[in-house]
Amino acid sequence: MRQKEISLNIRPINPLDEEFDDDHIVTSWNTPLREDAFVLSDDEKVEQIEKHFREIMEILGLDLTDDSLNGTPHRVAKMYVKEVFSGLNPKNRPVAKLFENKYKYDQMLVEKDITFYSHCEHHFVPIYGKAHVAYFSSGKVIGLSKINRIVQYFAKRPQVQERLTVQIGKELQRILGTEHVGVVMDANHMCVASRGVGDTNSKTGTAFFGGKFSEETFKREFLNYINNK
């Protein structure tokens, strides 16, 4: 069976757009956070979330004296703060070291199939898939593992895929000092698959094209590369 090209499902993102459809109304490309978001320490947040999640489980009628369930509130709280939503805290932002482009490499650099896991901010269920990133050097290059870390940092938040795509693109533009950045993301949404319509086959594609990647020639080269096995 011929592989379905990612480009068929992609809607390029215009950062000036405020509304995509009835379910995805976006007012800012920054993650919405209160000014006092980091007054509490991580450990204090774990303690409070544990208490509240225990109450949720009790309301659901679960017996928390059972050995299997007793530690769940703490595990969930720790997971939220220190793992799956750790990208909310700016102290966890990757520090990207740049290197001189000594080889004078002036072509597109692509890192594809970066696995990411995130969570839908509407239902707090997983979003997971692949990110593909490309850029043209402005005289500096970034260590490849740092691209993965940047993707993971922004993914580890309650997200919508449109915002996540733009955040990764804008961060790479800032770090690399160039507008010539492209990002394509192809993801499964468990809020679609495990609830609501229950569609387990559909995927969502989003793209960020900056600088040269707004030109059809470079955009097509990027998309052809990531669709090539």
Quick: pLDDT tens for 79-112: 999 999 999 999 999 999 899 999 899 999 999 9
Are 65 and 168 contained in the same domain? Answer: no
180 catalytic residue (yes or no): no
166 lies in some domain: yes
Are 47 and 28 contained in the same domain? Answer: no
Are 27 and 104 contained in the same domain? Answer: yes
Are 152 and 209 contained in the same domain? Answer: yes
Q: What is the pLDDT of residue 115?
A: 98
74 catalytic residue (yes or no): no
161 catalytic residue (yes or no): yes
In 3-state terms, what secondary structure has residue 205? strand
169 lies in some domain: yes
189 lies in some domain: yes
Q: What is the pLDDT of residue 210?
A: 98
Q: What is the pLDDT of residue 86?
A: 98
Are 100 and 205 contained in the same domain? Answer: yes
Are 108 and 84 contained in the same domain? Answer: no
123 catalytic residue (yes or no): yes
Are 110 and 139 contained in the same domain? Answer: yes
Q: What is the pLDDT of residue 202?
A: 76
Are 215 and 117 contained in the same domain? Answer: yes
In 3-state terms, what secondary structure has residue 94? coil
- Domain with 57 in it: what CATH number? 1.10.286.10
Q: Which of 152, 159, 161, 173 is catalytic?
A: 161
Q: Are 134 and 182 in contact (CB under 8 A)?
A: yes
37 lies in some domain: no
- pTM for the whole thing? 0.85
- CB neighbour class for 119 (10 Å; exposed up to 12, middle 13-18, buried from 19): buried
Q: What is the pLDDT of residue 19?
A: 37
Q: What is the pLDDT of residue 8?
A: 37
| Of the candidates 26, 5, 31, 13, the residue with the CA atom closest to the CA atom of residue 181 | 13
In the numeric block, which tokens belong to residue 162? 């449109």
Q: What is the pLDDT of residue 213?
A: 98
Q: Which of 5, 47, 111, 123 is catalytic?
A: 123
What residues make up the domain containing 75? 42-88
- Domain with 11 in it: what CATH number? 3.30.1130.10
In the numeric block, which tokens belong to residue 43? 């450990």
Q: Which of 119, 132, 180, 189 is catalytic?
A: 189
Are 65 and 147 contained in the same domain? Answer: no
pLDDT in tens, 104-139: 999 999 999 999 999 999 999 999 999 999 999 999
192 lies in some domain: yes
DSSP character string of 3-24: PPPGGGGEEE--TT--EEETTE
| Of the candidates 168, 151, 155, 163, the residue with the CA atom closest to the CA atom of residue 113 | 151
77 lies in some domain: yes
Classify 68 in phi/psi space as left (phi over 0), alpha (psi -120 to 50) or beta. Answer: alpha
Q: Which of 5, 47, 111, 121 is catalytic?
A: 121
Are 150 and 68 contained in the same domain? Answer: no
| Of the candidates 127, 135, 79, the residue with the CA atom closest to the CA atom of residue 105 | 135
Q: What is the pLDDT of residue 196?
A: 67
In the numeric block, which tokens belong to residue 72? 């769940």
1 lies in some domain: no
Are 155 and 209 contained in the same domain? Answer: yes
Q: What is the pLDDT of residue 201?
A: 67
Are 69 and 164 contained in the same domain? Answer: no
Q: How many distinct structural domains can be found in the chain?
A: 2
151 lies in some domain: yes
Q: Which of 18, 58, 122, 215 is catalytic?
A: 122
| Of the candidates 204, 208, 218, 29, the residue with the CA atom closest to the CA atom of residue 132 | 208
189 catalytic residue (yes or no): yes
**What parts of the chain have a pLDDT lower than 70?**
1-28, 193-194, 196-201
